[in-house]
């Protein structure tokens, strides 16, 4: 269990549900570009976002590094994100899986 989950559990146990909910919903508040800047250790982000006093930079940085920003779409076969692929019956298949399937038929 990482520090974020421990804090959420501790705040829930102590009855500080507003703090626990804030940590749970932090990814809904911040834009993906902001999360990427936090992951790059860009502290100028603190001037652009509004955070409670109890959230320090170390906590925010650790939280951002636990999140993975996906580029592209998720393949239905391998569950990996990819920018290139095809849509088959409104489902996305990445190039690697498509080539594997294509080679099975030969």
Report domain extents, the chain.
3-66, 73-104
Question: Which of 22, 36, 25, 23 minimizes the C-alpha distance to 67?
Answer: 36
Alpha carbon distance 3, 10 (integer Å): 10
Average per-residue pLDDT for the chain? 88
- Write the pLDDT tens digit of every residue in 53-95: 999 999 999 998 887 766 778 888 888 888 889 998 888 999 9
The strand pairing partners of 82, in sequence order, are 73
């Amino acid at each position: 269990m990482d520090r974020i989950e421990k804090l959420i559990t501790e705040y829930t146990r102590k009855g500080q549900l507003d703090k626990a909910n804030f940590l749970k919903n932090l990814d809904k508040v911040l834009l993906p570009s902001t999360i990427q800047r936090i992951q790059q250790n860009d502290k100028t982000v603190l001037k652009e976002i509004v955070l409670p006093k109890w959230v320090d930079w170390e906590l925010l940085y650790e939280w951002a590094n636990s999140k993975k920003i996906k580029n592209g779409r998720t393949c239905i076969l391998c569950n990996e994100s990819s920018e290139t692929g095809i849509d088959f019956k409104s489902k996305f298949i990445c190039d690697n899986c498509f080539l594997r399937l294509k080679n099975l038929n030969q």
